[in-house]
Structure formats: structure tokens, C-alpha cells
Amino acid sequence: MQARCLDVHIRQVCGRRSVESRLEELEKKVDKLIDRVSALVPGLGEVGREISEEIKAEARALEISKADTAGWAQVIGMQGSGDGQFKYPHGVAIDQEGHIIVLDTNNHRVQVMSHDGKMVSKFGSLGSADGQFNNPRGVAIDQEGHIIVADTRNNRVQVMSHDGKMISKLGSGGSRDGQFNNPHGVAIDQEGHIIVADTYNHRVQVMSRDGKMISKLGSQGSGDGQFKCPQGVAIDHEGHIVVADTHNHRVQVMSRDGKMISKLGSEGSGDGQFKCPQGVAIDHEGHIIVADTGNNRVQVMSRNGTMVSKLGSEGSGDGQFSGPVGVAIDQEGHIIVVDHYNNRVQVIRMPQLFA
């Protein structure tokens, strides 16, 4: 039983029992309503019963359709330091083989996971030597399949092979060009440059693979093109840099030369609002997926700032979150969410289930 608990927990989120319960309640309400109307309108009894049956049939078809097609949540991991376990994980990416790369932050390591929750490989330990990490928080995959890790408290970025060998490293602690102060998010653009959310320097740096700063975006502030502790970065289909401007409670879409193209969100819990968003990703249709961390949900946003869909609520049940931080999209369009304080990763197939 213990070994089973250590493995992935795959659960159906939408159960027939909950659907049937909702339908029974709805049918009772419809019957009561028809009885009240029939009492007020003489001769409506038979017609009322026909209307009642039609309403209940339509409701049943709709609810069962939702239950059959809404999808599932696959839950990977639990708290711990064993294989396939996590301690406050943060970043996530999908490699070219479809594996889920998880930054197991407080275990100071990277775990490569299969979709069924099995640990394929792991590397890293606490330290500052090559191939070691100190609270790594951001991860991306380059065109060659290398794993790019934001080694946050070592104030550097490491380029790693899948077997844990350090290929190259970028940066050191500081605020000069090419230096970092607690970098969180990383992304790879179409030209292979490494985009780094240089969080406590309140900027984003575009870096070459040999560690040279090509360009930088932003400064501390809340104006257009300014940032306050940016944590997540992604590249959209047009090559723009999408930034989770965390402490400004918004997302900014930036050009490579630092111009703000558009911005999404404001502080709050309404649709399209955010509270300390930490992770961003781009889906196959160009939507911006935002880990709305402080609101314990994920929002799917259009480029013009309209909320398309939302997932989750606060909690530890399937499809619920406690501090979602990292997000990624796999080849099939599933949304991968790092559920930080629940010490797990969730794979969400159908966001409509939680909208």
C-alpha cells in the first residue's frame, strides 16, 4: 500500500455520483415549479408534466455530456524527498519526448517524470558546484533538448543534459549586465537565446548561450515596460516575450527591444484579474496561460486581456490548487500545473471542467 501511495495518483475528477446527485436536485425543483404553475393555471396539468419531462431530459443529457467529456486531472507526486516526491516544486517544462521536467525546489534537484507519474531520471543536489542547485525555480527546454535551469539562489543559469551533466553556465550574483539577483523564470526564443526573469533586479535579460547579455528589458516600477519582481517568462507565437509581472499583479507582452506591446490584468480576484501571478505559458492557439498564484487558480487569457477560461479553486482536492506557480503545455494541449504548497503536479485535460 505504501509503494502505491508513492506512485502517481490518477483520479477521475468528474464522477457519475455527483452528476446524478445534481440531476436529482434539479428534477425535484422542476417538479415543484410545475406544480405551482399548474395550481395557478387551470388545465395545465398534462402540459405541465410534458414540459417538466422535456426540461429534465435536456438537463440530464447536458450534465451527462459534461461528465463524459470534461476530462480528468492526473495528479503526480506527494510531499517527500523520495523518487517522484516533491518538496515545494516550482518550475515545469515539457521535453521533446513528452516527459514532464519538474524543478523540485526545496529538494534542490530536477526530476524527469513520465505522464503516468514515474520518475524517469533525476539530477542535482544542494550546493554551488557545477550541476548542483540552490532552490532552482525556472526551467525550459532548448532546441537541442538541453534542460535550462534557473539556479535561483546561486544567481546563475545552468544548461544541463538529461543525465545531469552541466554543459554550460551563465551569470553570477549582481546587477550588472549578465548578472542575476534570484532569477526565477527562463524561456528559449526561436533563435536559441535564453530569456531570464532577473527577479530581484526587476528586469528581463536576453542571453546568448555563452553568457553574454544581448539585451535587457525593464526597470523597477509600475509603468508600462517596468516590472516589480517578475517571475515567469514565455515566448509567444510571434516571438514576443510574455512576462509575469508578479508584484504588479499583471502580465506584460514585450518586444525584444523592450517596448510594451500589451498588458493584461490588474490586482484582484475577478475574471482577468491576478494576485501575484508567477508562471506563464503559451498554448497551441496562442492563448496566455497564467498561474494566478495568490488566487489559487489558472487563467487562460486572450492576447487582448479577455479571460477565456479558468481552472481551479483553493484546496487540496483534484483540480484544486494551493499556490500554483509553474505552468506548461504538453504536445496534446494539456495544461501542466505545479501545485506548489500541495507538493504535486497536476495535468489538466479540459479547462471547461473548472470554468
Show the cell assigned to 246.
508578479
Q: Which amino acid is at 67?
A: A
pLDDT in tens, the chain (355 residues): 333 333 333 333 333 334 445 556 666 776 777 677 667 766 666 666 666 666 655 554 444 334 333 445 689 999 999 999 999 999 999 999 999 999 999 999 999 999 888 999 999 999 999 999 999 999 999 999 999 999 999 999 999 998 999 999 999 999 999 999 999 999 999 999 999 999 999 999 999 988 999 999 999 999 999 999 999 999 999 999 999 999 999 999 999 889 999 999 999 999 999 999 999 999 999 999 999 999 999 999 998 889 999 999 999 998 899 999 999 999 889 999 999 999 999 999 754 433 3
DSSP code per residue over 181-213: SS---EEE-TT-PEEEEEGGGTEEEEE-TTS-E
Nearest Cα residue to 104 out of 283, 280, 323, 340: 340
Q: Which residues contact 76 (CB under 8 A, 6 or more apart)?
A: 8, 84, 100, 102, 113, 117, 344, 345, 346, 347
**pLDDT score for 74:** 87
What pLDDT does 350 receive?
53
Give the pLDDT of residue 354. Answer: 37
Closest C-alpha to 151, from 174, 167, 163, 169: 169
Selection from 306, 272, 308, 318 nearest residue 292 by Cα: 272
**pLDDT for the residue numbered 337:** 97
Q: Which residues contact 209 (CB under 8 A, 6 or more apart)?
A: 159, 168, 192, 193, 194
Q: Which 3 state secondary structure label does DSSP give 353?
A: helix
